[in-house]
A and B are shown apart, each in its own frame.
Chain A
Amino acid sequence: MIAALPPGSDTGSALVALPVILPLFAAGLKLGIGVRLQRTQRVISTVVLATVLAVALVLLVDADTHGPQVMYAGGWQPPVGIVLVADRLSALMLVISSAVTLCVLLYSVGQGMADQEEGTPMSVFHPSYLVLVAGVSDTFLAGDLFNLYVGFEIMLTASYVLLTLGGTVTRIRAGATYAIVSLLSSVLFLAAVAVVYAATGTVTMAELAGRFDELPDGVAVLAQISLLTVFCTKAAVFPLAAWLPDSYPTAPAPVTAVFAGLLTKVGIYAMLRTQTLLFPGDRLSDVLMVLALFSLLVGILGAVAQTDLKRLLSFTLVSHIGFMVFGIALATRAGFAGAVFYVVHHITVQTTLFLVVGLVERRGVTTDLRRLGGIAKLSPALGLVFFVPAMNLAGVPPLPGFLGKFGLMRAGVVQGGAMVYVLIAAGAATSLLTLYALAKAWNLGFWRAAPPQLYVVGVVLDTVETDEEDSPSEQEAGGDQGGAAPGGSGAVDVDVLEGRAGTASFGGRAITTGQPPAAMLVPTAALVAFGLLFTVLAGPLSSLTARVAGELTARTPYVTAVTGR
């Protein structure tokens, strides 16, 4: 029952809970169904995520025209109860995330059908994926810090399962790093919540707005630093980013894509929310600037040094997080608007690129740039869907990547200051180096003549453990799974050492096909088009992000909508 709604938001409020409840409900349903009724399962997933997208769009329109939409769970009021709030920022993030998750779901359904993986990996993937979506929605909508923590946990728990899908050697190794790092940051988050509650007596973010101004500076800084450390770990900001390039590339392609697109951005969202609502002003801006600087440069230099396409993209992900942190560190309206625009763009483009890499791996067995080649000739469509988002990520005008970077840099110039100019220069250098890294990837992987083994089509390679003395091509193709792994600690697979991080299918098998299956190519192309839409709609979108930033810096609409004051 929903009680005591603030005036002006009648039915809109009940909608706020749907993006969390629907995927959870569907996940439960799917677990109940099990491995049976594959077709029904696919329909359920697709319908649920499409509904979530529709709900998110309605919420965005409502939040934009009528102010933040609020739902009080069980009718309990803020200091005690759980509040879900959809203001412009939340609703916008929700729209982008549900559009992206829907496309990735369609891609994974296509992949499952193409690989005929109807059994265990797929039947685990679907419910976990829906739980992940519910967790992401919950973090975007959470109106209090503890619910934010719970949202993170829902998301992370699902992500542990997704990352270790199939339980192969590489995935378990990567999963251990990922799970331990995430777990520690979660524990720190809980401690930060304890600090905030001890200092203020509430965890509702609307109530917290302004509370820290009355407290001694030291207490506020402690709370702020603890929360920032947590969110920097989740968002993979430089000194806390080492886990990302090691863990993401091993997962199945759709999983890597959705992780790269959404999970780090959830951290950025939490930073945006707390930095504007709880700790307005530029208290730790200098620190954030330095972190952004190092993220930008260290990340992109890492990307330049990589020879594996997935690792390369993972490093560009770390690097470009720096742009968003830069926007947050500016702590001005224009800075926040630029950061939000960049988040929207980056979620889409990074997901697209990882989906494309999944397709490349199916065509060329590997994502190692030294062994790939000629993809653009073998499959022109694949070349196109890689080239456009790659240029978009590098920021070639007039693509949205350019607009996002331009908006951030303009916001920086308006503010001025030595550090800001250093960051603008670093941003420009990062764009150019991104272009360099992606041009290298394009030339080596797509443009040069294909090595002979790539012309072999339609081979499904099994996971049998191949011996080293077999023919070289077979050796390359051997999966690194295998129940008969040699004993002894420190045993590392040949494949991993040579730059092949893993294999993209759900079960961890290496699977090659000729042309990419239409069921996988179409969702990818749809995401490419979605990314380009931000250029066509750049005007409305940037005025929306400006309104988002206005609402964030004003604080009162959010606080009034939740507390009624």
Chain B
Amino acid sequence: MNETVALVATGGALIAAGTVLLLSRPLTRIVLGTVVIGNGVNLLLLSTSGAAARAPLLYRVFGPRRIADPLPQAFVLTAIVITLALTAFLSAMAYRAWQLSGTDDVQDDVEDLRVAYRAEHGEDREEHREGGARRLPMERERRARRRELLGAAEEDGQAGEGGTLRHPRRSDTHFHEARRRARAETRAHHALGARTEDETAGDDMWETILGADR
């Protein structure tokens, strides 16, 4: 009885700890969280075999009545093997995420980002809405702003090779920072443009259905 209570209590504690890990952002911590939760559930599963008894392997020695229920142990063994495989896979995925983006944080949801951009740029959207005529100057403005950002960085760090922006030196963090900022602005701009176009086009349901080949 006591052993079972201890198993359940430990299992519960592990699941609680795993949940905390799971709620954090880095993928590595999430992987650890799932491992800990998995172990907690394995303990719960093990506790279903009832009171502690002899090892099932020795059933010839002790007789079938004095050995522990072997079935949950078989379940747990299988579950451990599965968890091992998944841990390996998730770790590889976390490593790949780090390779690609320099961090293994779970990324923001794309749709959420869209909504956030819309909220941030509510005023600009009104301008966009007013028609294509105004969009062109805005586009020009954006390009100018981008050149300005990158140009400043280039002068500081002499990063551009032959005037192109394609192959900046990897070590030049200053240039990277400027480019990152420029890109972020461009992204916001694109997302915004796409959204407003989309909205103005889709205002009328019948327009979308019937007026497709206009």
Contacts and interface: CB of A to CB of B under 8 A. Distances in A.
A193 B75 contact: yes
Interface string A143-167: 0001000100100010011001001
Contacts of B166: 467
B44 A191 contact: yes
Interface stretch (A94-102, A171-179, A379-387, A401-409): A171-179
A429 interface: no
B93 A164 contact: yes
Nearest to A302: B111
B68 interface: no
A180 B208 contact: no
Nearest to A179: B90
A489 B79 CA distance: 34
A425 interface: no
A486 B176 CA distance: 8
A186 B89 CA distance: 15
B41 A194 contact: yes
Contacts of B86: 157, 160, 179, 183
A497 B201 contact: no
B102 interface: yes
A487 B34 CA distance: 27
B155 interface: no
Interface in B1-57: 22, 27, 30, 34, 37-38, 41-42, 44-45, 47-48
Given A146-B75, A494-B186, A194 B96 contact: no
A436 B212 CA distance: 13
B75 to A, nearest CB: 6
Contacts of B128: none
A492 interface: yes
A469 B191 contact: no
Interface string B101-114: 11101111111011
A176 B213 contact: no
Interface in B44-85: 44-45, 47-48, 71-72, 75, 78-79, 82, 85
B34 A180 contact: yes
B194 to A, nearest CB: 5
A487 B48 contact: no
B146 A468 contact: yes
Nearest to B165: A467
A488 B180 contact: yes
A494 B165 contact: no
Interface stretch (A32-40, A205-213, A414-422, A442-450): A442-450
Given A179-B93, A444-B212, A190 B45 contact: yes
What's the interface size class on B, roughly?
35 or more
B209 interface: yes
A499 interface: yes
Contact of B213 (A146, A168, A447, A490): A447
A537 interface: no
Contacts of B111: 246
What's the interface size class on A, roughly?
35 or more
B213 A448 contact: yes
Nearest to B108: A490
A309 B164 CA distance: 36
B100 A439 contact: no
B143 interface: yes
Nearest to B85: A157
Contacts of B107: 173, 176, 490, 492
A440 interface: yes
A498 interface: yes
Nearest to A189: B41
A496 B112 CA distance: 12
Contact of B34 (A80, A183, A468): A183
B90 to A, nearest CB: 6
A307 interface: yes
A485 interface: yes
A214 to B, nearest CB: 18
Nearest to B173: A487
A448 B207 CA distance: 13
Given A187-B34, A187-B41, A191-B41, A161 B89 contact: yes
B72 to A, nearest CB: 7
A286 B105 CA distance: 40
B214 to A, nearest CB: 8
Most buried by A among B44, B100, B111, B190: B100
B119 interface: no
Interface string B198-214: 10010001001110111
Contact of B187 (A176, A370, A494): A494
Nearest to A194: B45
Contact of A179 (B41, B89, B209): B89
Given A469-B146, A488-B102, A184 B48 contact: no
A487 B101 CA distance: 6
A198 interface: yes
Nearest to B30: A180
A169 interface: yes
B28 to A, nearest CB: 11
A84 to B, nearest CB: 16
Interface string B128-159: 00000000000000010010000000000000
B30 A197 contact: no
Contact of A489 (B101, B143, B187, B197): B101
Contacts of B205: 436
B182 to A, nearest CB: 8
Closest 9 CB pairs of A and B: A443-B212, A487-B102, A198-B48, A448-B213, A194-B45, A497-B191, A448-B212, A489-B103, A498-B194
18 contacts: A146-B78, A164-B93, A164-B96, A173-B97, A187-B41, A190-B79, A191-B45, A193-B75, A370-B197, A443-B210, A467-B165, A468-B182, A490-B108, A491-B101, A491-B183, A492-B187, A496-B110, A497-B191
Interface of A: 80, 146, 150, 153, 157, 160-161, 164, 167-169, 172-173, 175-177, 179-180, 183-184, 186-187, 190-191, 193-194, 197-198, 203, 246, 307, 370, 436, 439-440, 443-444, 447-449, 467-469, 483, 485-492, 494, 496-499
